[in-house]
Amino acid sequence: MAHQKSVNHAFWAHWWSKFIGYSVVAITLAILYFFLLLPIGVVLKKALVNQQGELSFAYFELLFANNLQTGAIYNSIGIGVFTTVLATFLSLPLAIINRKFAYRGKQLLSALLLVPMIMPPFVGAIGIQRFFARFGTINMALLDCALISEPIDWLSGSFMFWAVVVLEALHLYPILYLNISAALNNVDPSLEEIGVTLGISRLGRFFRIVWPLARPGFFAGAIIVFIWALTDLGTPLLVGFHDTLPVRIFNLVTDANENPVGFALVFIVILMTVSFFLLSKLLLGSTKKFQMMARGHVSSPTVPSTWHHWWFIYPLMLGVSLLALIPHLSVVITSISDQWFMTALPENYTLRYYGAVFQQELASVGIKNSFFLASLSTLFDLVLGLLIAYIIARKIVPFTGLLDALVMIPLALPGIVLAFGYVVTYSNTWLDPLHNPVPLLIIAYGIRRLPFMVRSATAGLQQTSISLEEAATTFGAGSFKVLRTVTMPLVMANLIAGALLCFSYAMLDVSDSLILAMKDQFYPLTKAIYVLYLEQGSGEFIASALGVIGMIILSCCIVGSSLILGKKMGELFRS
């Protein structure tokens, strides 16, 4: 009798597990359909079908007949390419040094390398405008030193293009650094030892053994950096470089139905991002012929550094860190400046703009709205992400690989595409962002950060033995009780790390916030920063103070996630 009861319990537990699994899959597919595939499909249809319902490329003919629009396309591709190249030059040597050498202050300097992640270049552009203006810090310092006779227009013409590239690269190189570091640390050290015995030089071992094995990690990070830079809206918008695809799309949102060129532009963005994403997958697939018998779970033995190593280790590590700190430093100085005109640095300093943040209605509303929206979107990611990760890690349904691929799609689609699709798809409905953008903002924030939570939770579940859950089930615990009392406590660190990342990036989201929030009472933090920056008088300084507050919030979340996940943090930023 006891055996029969145990068999029945096991049968119902298995049936219930399958029911929950397929239910979560159905809910996930419904969410992805209505808030990912449908908006994109509507935009594609409007781009390819004319008002008579016929297939037409007339909008694209209009697009490519306009030199300004085609110039924006070339500029965006150029920003993506040069940002990726510059980020590679910054991150690859740093990853190699940290893998190879042990030196004093390694942990501190490695942490400093991640500092750029604590603030989007959207905010850094405010300070850069002040530093590189015609009568800004750089020009005034050069004039005072008699190095130039008249101010240089750093932020005009082609200079603006390179300003955007540098800002993007300084912000995004940590993503590439984390991916390359994780890939290098997974290389089996014994393979290099074999190369030594075969007489292969150090450079030869790197290019013939280490790099082919680490290359998938590089491509996984590089495609994220490229797509991120290609589709970033905030940085070129604040720098004043409007000849980019995202800014053109942003300017066409309000009259999308009257000017159909916007649909063609969004189609071009989707085509490019998906094409480059698939290309990266092909490149990753071509590297599978390089296989290891074992993964390097223990990083390669580090060489104790000596004084003749320091001449390149410390200058490179400190140089990159200090260079990346310039946008952050410029925003901080702007936020505390007073009487700053025609001088290299402010004549006086004040904290009154931080007080004005909480007295100025738009600024305080922006902070409250972002906390509210980010909290709800993080809760959405936490619940759905854990369930999806559990299904994937425990293989409850037979098509977990396809489910994982579907959930990762938001990493390949830029926020400006989804936001534009939401405006077009849900106008004149109860989800119309013109009336109340809160539901769509929560959904947009949640969907775009869901991959972070799924990756983080999946990593924790894969390290947790399933035998503990089976033991709890044997003693009569139901599926939800097992998940709540056994599984969740074991992966709590991963859930906290994923939640911190989801919350922080939702707090400082740019594309969705700028496009979907159309009334000031619904402005999130970044929209409030943008609007305040455009105001005359003290708006720029209050916007800088808001940016510093956002930087502090994001830094706490990033540091917390990094402490919890360690070197595995780079896995969250893989396409």
Average pLDDT, the chain: 79
Residue (of 315, 339, 570, 335) closest to 459 by Cα position:
570
Taking the C-alpha atoms of residue 20 and residue 42, their distance in angstroms, rounded to an integer, is 31
Beta bridge partners of 303: 101
Taking the C-alpha atoms of residue 187 and residue 300, their distance in angstroms, rounded to an integer, is 8
Taking the C-alpha atoms of residue 447 and residue 373, their distance in angstroms, rounded to an integer, is 13
Q: Are 231 and 218 in contact (CB under 8 A)?
A: no
* Host H or E run for residue 132: none
Query: Domains of the chain, with CATH numbers?
Result: 1-55+353-575 (1.10.3720.10), 57-343 (1.10.3720.10)
CA distances (Å), 228 to each of 39, 46, 190, 237, in order?
20, 25, 36, 15
Would you call 52 exposed, middle or buried from its count of C-beta atoms within 10 A (0-12, 13-18, 19+)?
exposed
Taking the C-alpha atoms of residue 24 and residue 387, their distance in angstroms, rounded to an integer, is 7
Q: What is the pLDDT of residue 372?
A: 94
Q: For residue range 347-364, list pLDDT tens digits in order.
A: 888 889 888 888 888 888
Residues in the chain where the model's pLDDT stays below 70: 1-17, 117-120, 188-190, 192-193, 195-196, 199, 201-204, 207, 254-259, 281, 283-311, 465-486, 558-575
Q: What is the DSSP letter of 491?
A: T
Q: For residue range 206-248, list pLDDT tens digits in order.
A: 767 777 777 777 887 888 889 889 988 888 888 888 899 999 8
Give, to the nearest 10 degrees, the angle between helix 492-507 and helix 539-565: 160
